[in-house]
A and B are shown apart, each in its own frame.
Chain A
Amino acid sequence: MSGDMTHDEGHGSVAVEQEHGHGVVAENPFADPGLPEHQPRLTDIDEKVARKSERIVAGLFILSAIATIAFMVCYTEVPNNTATIVNFFPIGAISASNFALGLTLGVALFSMGAGAIYWARTLMTDVELPQERHLLESAPADKAAAAAEFQQGLEDSAWKQRPLIRRTLIGAMAVLPLPALWILRDLGPLPGTTQRQTAWTAGELIINDNSISLDGTQGSGIKPEDLQVGTLVSASPAAVLTAGDNAVDMMTMSAILLVRMNPADIKSQQEIDWGYEGIVAFSKICTHVGCPVQLYEQQTHHMLCPCHQSTFDLSDNGRVVFGPAARSLPQLPITVNADGYLVAKAGFDQPVGPSFWERG
């Protein structure tokens, strides 16, 4: 015998004969006593109370109708602009139009529902009725008949006698859905090496994000004397000013942050070398899942990402000191060009942003 299981129920509800002697109990004390007798509500026995219920239900329906009409009136009569405000405690100042429309619609719907429910609870029948369930499983005769029908159909198809048909059908059906995947190929380009590239190359001018005009085509560079120790500047490559439609995608990969520290506070010689007189540039894109890292604490030199609290130490090669990011923030080597503006000395030495399978 294989390791079989027995199931023991222990459900004691067998009828027992009545006990003799004192302390008599009806046979089977836990038996189902059946549906309790219906007890009437006041509305069932008192016509006056029932009529009051009727009036309440009617009142709710009338309230609903009034609110519905009020909604339509408010739609045209309450001006919908940012200046038309209604102010009431404790919510404060809110849009008058939104308030009026929401209140009227809400009351219209709610009182309709409340009326229907009150009607059901007080005036409709509340006699509990039983209804039989039928066992869901079909009768054995039906199951046999269904199986027989199926078998007959199978025989009529010559499926069993022609194995070649079966095999080739399965093969053809298996490949038939594949074109549905194939035609999705043009959803997007292949990644290639674009995930590794930014717009930063040697000599690229660094633009102060705050100086970028609203139309995105103008911006000014940054000179070292613009920054003091403790200054933070969000910056982009000058290429975004001429990138047109691609400006946003480019900014997303190439955004950087400049901070100025006292060189004595910088713990890594490479970081000092890649900076300029204590000004260092790091990628702004968190190496966790790509949010802009931007919370800079000038005394601790920590850069915090608000999405998942990854913390980078900008005085120590952008090393991760807390949080789920696994890689330090990449640093961009910078220097000063002939006109005295800060420019990139080279591109990034590694891909920026979130890790990916091919990153290595």
Chain B
Amino acid sequence: MSDDRHLDGNAVGGLLLEIFGHEMTAELGCCGHCGAVNPIAAVYVYLEAPGVVVRCPACATVLLVITELESSYRVSFEELSWIQHTKS
């Protein structure tokens, strides 16, 4: 995708830490559309929007959308089919 308007999962590390109470950038995520597996740090993140749109770096399918509402964050799950945490 030739487009410079995205960052990556590192840019929402703080937001994910706040929502999930756990460092999320090293977790693996699987795209339900194309099957690509990537650490959350490597997914594409569009921050310049009314919400955070998280897309698969391989096929651009929306994995998650995080919207900041009045007094909450909503995480909407789209094509993120699983996440995986390495045992410590």
Asked if A pairs with B, the answer is: no
